[in-house]
Amino acid sequence: MQRFLLKHKNKIALIGGVLIALSFLVRWTIGNMFLFEILMIAASVLGAAPIAIMAFQSLRIKVVSIDVLVTIAVTGAFVIKNYEEAAIVTFLFLFGAYLEQRTLNKTRSAIKELAEMAPESALKLMENGEFEEVDVDEVDIGDVLLVKTGAKVPVDGTVVLGEGSVNEASITGESLPVAKEKGSKVFAGTILDNGTIQIVADRVGEDTTFGRIIELVEEAQDSKSQAERFIDRFSKYYTPFVLVLAFVVGLVTRNVELAITILVLGCPGALVIGVPVSNVAGIGNGARHGVLFKGSEVISDFSRLDTMVFDKTGTLTVGNPSVMEKEYYGENVEEVLSYLASVEKESDHPLAKAVLEHIGEVETFSVENTGVVKGEGIIATVNGRRIAVGNVALMEREKVHLDDRMRADIDRFEKNGNSLVLTAVDEELKVLMGVRDKIRPDVKKDLDSLKRLKVKNLVMLSGDNQGTVDLVAKELRLTEARGNMLPEDKSEYVKDIIDKGQIVAFVGDGVNDSPSLALAHVGIAMGSGTDVAIETSDVVLMNSDFGRLPHALGLSKAITRNMRQNIFIAIGVVIVLLVSVLFSDWMNMSIGMFVHEASILAVILNGMRLLRYRLRR
């Protein structure tokens, strides 16, 4: 019976409303007060039943909830034979709960839309060489799948055959299609706009990027911020306080109706619901715009930050450097380039990739005795020769002689904004290359937006030489820029400015900068939904899109501001209602309950505005 009443409480509210309307119709038309009271009693009993059940369930776990207050108030109204008040209060309470649930469901629309985008089936290559449609849960890592035009990509995978363009809006928030060919990575939940491709499954089920995004958003929406935890503690003590206040007022004034009215009007419903709805709506907005908050706790720190620290390569720059200048010293250049290519093939550093692309196809040799000098470069033996590839510090470590011409070239390369790659063979410098990276498009506008959002300090830390760092900092008008920084230097810098009382966000790639990401109040990863980015940061900017950073900061400020507004509305309404009932004659239980439910609806609608939030340029 309890389950039935709770399941159909919306229908009960509707029936109660009809009974109340009929009772007033009877009273105004035929003037039958007996029938009027019977209809009001029926509406009261029917409406009070699910409320009393919820109150009982709350008391069983030792919580004095709003339902308890309303149940006591309705019971008191029955005792003093105020059936009209009892019926209207129960109807308004149930109707308010219905509106609350309906609007809350709308604020969760972002996660619902994401879940609906999840693919349900896939065309899998079977042993007979044919593709058959199977449930997506039946796909294993290594399976080959066929994706046709207009179909959803069922898993994370790599294209092995065919080409086409994929709409990755569900992952990155970017609606422009992305070209895919053999070797390209594709993500579950994205849509193949045109073409036909075959992919091999790399990650399936909940391990896909799409699955991780859904899980991340769900966890973020379910987590509680500092404000929400405060509201929970406040409500825990506030509700019993209202009970005591009503009892004392009733005892002193001998006015039972007044005491019952205080119980109804003191319900902190808007206060309890106001903060969560702001968080849920805001996190949902972020998910739809390619910004993933890893919980509501981070939003508070993010909204108050005054210093933002950036890694350079892959964050402020596109992360795809190329060789822009070069100088050769001595003879046998082709042989030296072969040695250099052999060593750089052992490295996954972005500069190594740029060097290899510049050298092109050359003969390579086996590499022995490889040693990595952290922050300086690589030392190895190639074809019996000792090869050192790295920066000036490595050359000094290796006691490589640098004459006046070489030092002049190094200074010139650095002034031009290059990162240096020096190659020495048996302690003799043979090759100097200058590698430069391009600044991300529109990054200046995005940094200006951050300044308008009250970020006081924009700092860049980089492992590059100071000359390169200074040129980038000057072009972007940064507050401070430091070069020649190892990962531990970056984390030490972050720790120092935090100790000085600054609220710091660190923006990096989620891999080399993980110590700094972990130390900062807010770690922001520039990563296309990679595992490392999601695990090490507090905020993930999908598709490495720097342009989403101002939206993320503006949204966090809007969420925090929205929370404060809802708290102000909730507390303000309760104070006005209690003062009115104690010191005026016009306030009664029905009017108070109507205002109370209206305040709940007001904070929900205010929170829902965050679903439409966009940063003003």
The residues carrying an active-site annotation are: 311
DSSP state of 460: E
CA dihedral sign, ordered 277, 278, 280, 281: positive
Contact in structure between 27 and 94 (CB atoms under 8 Å): no
Question: In what helix (H) or strand (E) does residue 336 lie, and over which residues does it extend?
Answer: helix 333-344
The angle that helices 33-60 and 66-79 make with each other, rounded to 10 degrees, is: 150
Contact in structure between 51 and 2 (CB atoms under 8 Å): no
610/277 Cα distance (integer angstroms): 10
The residues near 316 (Cβ < 8 Å, ≥ 6 apart) are 310, 439, 440, 443, 460, 472, 476, 546
Query: Of 567, 573, 566, which Cα lies nearest the Cα of 604?
Result: 566
Pairing of strands 457-461, 307-311: parallel
Query: Of 215, 360, 302, which Cα lies nearest the Cα of 523?
Result: 302
Instruction: Supply 179's token pair.
Output: 């070209």
550/449 Cα distance (integer angstroms): 6
The residues near 616 (Cβ < 8 Å, ≥ 6 apart) are none
Residue with tokens 């059940």: 53
List 198's β-bridge partners, or say none.
146, 161
Residues 250-281: b if buried by 16+ CB within 10 A, e if exposed:
beeeeebbbbbbbbbbbbbbbbbbbbbbbbbb
How many Å separate Cα 115 from the centre of its chain?
Answer: 16
The identity of residue 38, as a single letter, is: I
294 phi and psi, to 5 degrees?
-85, 25
Contact in structure between 281 and 590 (CB atoms under 8 Å): no
344/338 Cα distance (integer angstroms): 10
List 373's β-bridge partners, or say none.
377
Contact in structure between 604 and 103 (CB atoms under 8 Å): yes
**Would you tell me how many other CB atoms lie within 10 Å of the CB of residue 217?**
24
